[in-house]
Amino acid sequence: MSVTIAVPKETARGEKRVAMVPKVAAKLARLNTDVLIAKGAGSKSRIPDKAFDDPVRISNRSADIHAADVVLAVNAPKPEAIAAMTRGSILISFVHAHQHPAIVTALNEAGVTCFAMELIPRITRAQSMDALSSQATAAGYKAALMAADSLARFLPMLTTAAGTIRPARVLVIGAGVAGLQAIATAKRLGAKVSAYDVRIDTKEQVESLGAEFLVAEGVRAEADGGYARELTDAEKQKQQAMLEANMSEADAVITTAAVPGKPAPKIVSQAMVESMKPGSILIDLGAAGGGNCELTDPDRTVHHGAVTILGPSNMPSLLAEHASEMYAQNLYNFLQLLLVEEDGQDDVKPAERTHKLAINWDDEVLAQAVLTHDGETVNAAAREAMTQAATASSAAQQGENP
C-alpha cells in the first residue's frame, strides 16, 4: 500500500503560500506515493488545481486530507484539524512552538509525530532542507523593495540637468540570510548600504556584497548553529549607542534579528527612532516575534513623528509563488529521509518500486527536527515554552480569582 501525502489549504490569516507546487508534486508521485492536494490550496499562490497533473489528485474532502500518512503544510493546522488527523501520522510544517503551545498540546493529544521546519539543524547535509533560510531569502529581498517603495526619495545616485542626487543610506541590522539578501538587493538598487551584526564572523560576507560593516566595540555574540545569543545589558548599551549614531544618518533601516525559539530581541528603542531623519523608514522583519523595535505593531503602519515603521509579520507570503516553490523543494528533500524502498523489490524497476515510512532516530536531522512523537513533546526548548505558558496561564487565573 502506497504512502499517502496530503497538502491542506492554508488557514492562517494573510497566508498566500502553499506547501506543494506542481513540479515537486510530480517528483513525489514518481516515488509511487499517493499525493493529494486540497481543492484550491494553491490558488493564492496563483497555482490552479488544473496545474497538478495525474496521478496527483485534487480533493475537496477534508477527511481525505486528515486521513493521510503524511500532511505537509506551511503553518501547522488549527488544533481542531490536528484532532482529526490519524494517530501515528506525520505532520511536517512550521510550528514555532513557543508562540503556539495550544498546537503542541493538540499534536500530543492526537498522537501525531510532528517535524517542525524551523528546527532543521543548520548543518551542511541539511542545507537543502533549510526552510528558514529559503523563506528568509524572500523576506530580505522584499524588505529592500518595500523600503525603496516607501521612501519619498530616490535610492540610487542620479546625475540630472537639475543637479546630482546623492544615494539613499540603508542600514541593515542582522546579517543572517534575510539581512544579506536585503543588503544585496538594496545595493543593486543603488543605495549606500551599511550593516551590523553581533556576529563578527559575518563581516566578510557583508563586505563581499559591497556594504560597510559596523562594529560595536566589545560586543561579540556568536552561538551554536550560526545564530546569535542574547546580549548582556552592558553589551546592549554599547550596541544601541553605536546603532543610534548610524540610524540618525540612515534613510531606511531594515531589522532582521531573531533568536530561535524566543521572542525577537528588542534592539531599536523609541529614542533611537526619534533620532532618525524626518521621512525615514524602518522595516521590522522581527514583527512576527514581537518586533526588533519597541514601536512596531505587527502588520500595521506606525507613524512616530516623521518616521514610518512597517512590521510585516509574513513577508515571504508577499512573494508566494517563489516562496512556495522553494519551500516545497525543502519539504521534498526532507521527505527523502523518511521514505525508504519496501523490502523484496530487487527485481522491480526503480520507477515502479514502492516506498514506506521509516524514521531513523539515529539521523541527526530527524532527531533535531522532531517536535512531538508518541504523545510527548520531544524538543527541549518546546517543553520549556509549554511549561512557561502553563505557569503564565495559572498565574493569570489566580490573579482573576483571588
Question: Average of pLDDT values for 283-309?
Answer: 96
Q: Which pLDDT score is estimated for 16? A: 97
Query: For residue 388, what pLDDT band results from cuts at 50, 70 and 90?
Result: confident
CATH assignment of the domain containing 373: 3.40.50.720
Q: Which pLDDT score is estimated for 223? A: 55
Domain assignment present for residue 88? The answer is yes
Same domain for 20 and 118: yes
pLDDT above 80 (res 260): no
Q: Which pLDDT score is estimated for 350? A: 72
Same domain for 187 and 105: no
Question: pTM to 2 decimals?
Answer: 0.90
In what side-by-side order are the strands of the sheet with 169-173? Answer: 212-214, 192-196, 169-173, 252-255, 281-284, 307-310, 301-304
Domain assignment present for residue 201? The answer is yes
User: Which of 292, 313, 334 is where one domain is finished?
Assistant: 313
Distances (CA, A) of 130 to 119, 320, 338: 9, 17, 16
Domain assignment present for residue 398? The answer is no
Query: For residue 248, what pLDDT band results from cuts at 50, 70 and 90?
Result: very high
**Which one, of 55, 49, 67, lies nearest residue 9 by Cα?**
49
User: Which of 271, 293, 313 is where one domain is finished?
Assistant: 313
Distance CA 31, CA 352 (A): 8
Domain assignment present for residue 399? The answer is no
Q: Which pLDDT score is estimated for 333? A: 97
Same domain for 323 and 304: no
Could you tell me the residue range of the domain that residue 278 belongs to? 136-313
Distance CA 39, CA 312 (A): 28
Question: Average of pLDDT values for 17-35?
Answer: 95
Burial class of 62 by CB neighbour count within 10 A (0 to 12, 13 to 18, 19+):
middle
Q: Which set of grid coordinates corresponds to residue 314? A: 509574513
pLDDT above 90 (res 292): yes
354 phi, psi to nearest 5 deg? -95, 160
Distance CA 346, CA 393 (A): 56
Same domain for 83 and 150: no
Q: Which pLDDT score is estimated for 220? A: 65
Contact 116, 93 (CB under 8 A): yes
Contact 237, 266 (CB under 8 A): no
Tally of structural domains, the chain: 2
pLDDT in tens, 165-207: 999 999 999 999 999 999 999 999 999 999 999 888 899 999 9
Beta-carbon contacts of 349 under 8 Å, excluding residues fewer than 6 positions away, are none
Least confident of 4-18, 87-101, 266-280, 380-394: 380-394
Same domain for 379 and 235: no
Distance CA 8, CA 36 (A): 9
Query: For residue 366, what pLDDT band results from cuts at 50, 70 and 90?
Result: very high
Domain assignment present for residue 71? The answer is yes
Same domain for 115 and 84: yes
**Which one, of 213, 268, 269, 272, lies nearest residue 248 by Cα?**
272
Same domain for 348 and 217: no
pLDDT above 70 (res 393): no
Domain assignment present for residue 299? The answer is yes
Question: Average of pLDDT values for 46-61?
Answer: 95
pLDDT in tens, 120-165: 999 999 999 999 999 999 999 999 999 999 999 999 999 989 999 9
Same domain for 348 and 291: no
Distances (CA, A) of 159 to 121, 153, 210: 48, 14, 21
Same domain for 272 and 175: yes
Same domain for 13 and 98: yes
Q: Which pLDDT score is estimated for 266? A: 92
If you average pLDDT over every residue of the chain, what do you get?
Answer: 91
Question: Average of pLDDT values for 339-353?
Answer: 78
Q: Is 210 left (phi over 0), alpha (psi -120 to 50) or beta?
A: left
What percent of the chain has a predicted confidence (pLDDT) above 70? Answer: 93
133 phi, psi to nearest 5 deg? -70, -45
Distance CA 1, CA 3 (A): 7
The amino acid sitting at 195 is: A
Q: Which pLDDT score is estimated for 247? A: 95
Query: For residue 310, what pLDDT band results from cuts at 50, 70 and 90?
Result: very high
User: Which of 259, 292, 313 is where one domain is finished?
Assistant: 313
Same domain for 214 and 121: no
Domain assignment present for residue 163? The answer is yes
Query: For residue 345, what pLDDT band results from cuts at 50, 70 and 90?
Result: confident
Give the DSSP H or E segment for 238: helix 233-247
Q: Which active-site residues does the annotation give?
A: 122, 127, 130, 133, 227
Q: Which pLDDT score is estimated for 146? A: 97
Report DSSP letters for 61-84, one per residue. Answer: -HHHHHT-SEEEEEEPPPHHHHHT
Question: Average of pLDDT values for 26-54?
Answer: 95
What percent of the chain has a predicted confidence (pLDDT) above 90? Answer: 77
**Which one, of 201, 244, 245, 198, lies nearest residue 218 by Cα?**
198
Distance CA 42, CA 352 (A): 28
